[in-house]
Amino acid sequence: MGAGVIKQQRFRFIASGMVTLFLVIVMVQAFRMIFMSSDHLLWGIPVIAVSLLDIYFLTSSLLRKPKSIDTRLSTFIISLGATFGFSLAAILIADPPIAFSYTAAVQQSGRMLSLVPYPFAIWALFCLKDCLTVVPEAHAVIAHGIYRYSRHPLYVCYVVWAIANVMIFPSLSMMIGSFCQIIFLMIRLHREEQLLLTTFPEYREYYQRTGLCGTMFRGTIVK
């Protein structure tokens, strides 16, 4: 095994390990909340299910050798920030919520909104399987299942969750954190598209045919 391959594997292991650790913490918190009150079952069960699938498929992907990978340090930082970094920082800061009319109604709407992506995220994970990665990697062109309708359904789910976080935790730090998370998601998306277009000639036809969400933004993310 060459030095370059070893460096790639170390890079992938660190990125996946950090996200896995975060997911374990999320699951522990979800279990704790469920044991405290059955009221948390509605959101706790899907959180645990998605986290377990994430960990399983991320671990499985480490056994595959990608055809290409973006190993830039900036991409590593962007990928972690897009996954959980900014939202986690905002929660840890825990500054007081911004007071406004109908706060309770907005927070409840945010909780309901946060549940919407879970079925789509689970569907996407079962389509990706061991092609799920933290940093952009080119394993294969996934164009079946939910990927027939969206090039990047998990990105869409993350954007919805970022918006829901602002509604549930209406603080200045969460607003800034969620905004930055969405920006980082778009940067990571751009870099992943570049990698896939460069690695797989057949990806261009899929890229031009399939939008980011339905027919929106077909072939417009990367020029």
Q: CA 20, CA 59: separation in Å to the nearest integer?
A: 9
Check residues 189 and 86 and name the one with the higher pLDDT. Answer: 189
Q: Is the dihedral of CA 96, 170, 155, 61 positive or negative?
A: positive
Average pLDDT for residues 22-36, to the nearest whole number? Answer: 89
CB–CB of 127/147 below 8 Å? yes
**Residue 37's pLDDT band (cuts 50, 70, 90):** confident
Residue 139 clears pLDDT 90, i.e. is over it? yes
**Residue 41's pLDDT band (cuts 50, 70, 90):** confident
Residue 56: partners with Cβ closer than 8 Å, 6 or more residues away:
none
Encoded tokens for 121: 């995220």
Encoded tokens for 18: 């950090």
CB–CB of 181/87 below 8 Å? yes
pTM above 0.85, yes or no: yes
CB–CB of 49/122 below 8 Å? yes
Amino acid identity of 119? Answer: P
Q: CA 116, CA 139: separation in Å to the nearest integer?
A: 28
CB–CB of 144/206 below 8 Å? no
Domains in the chain, please, with CATH?
Answer: 3-209 (1.20.120.1630)
Q: CA 63, CA 53: separation in Å to the nearest integer?
A: 16
Average pLDDT for residues 205-218, to the nearest whole number? Answer: 78
CA angle 95–113–34, rounded 5-degree value:
70
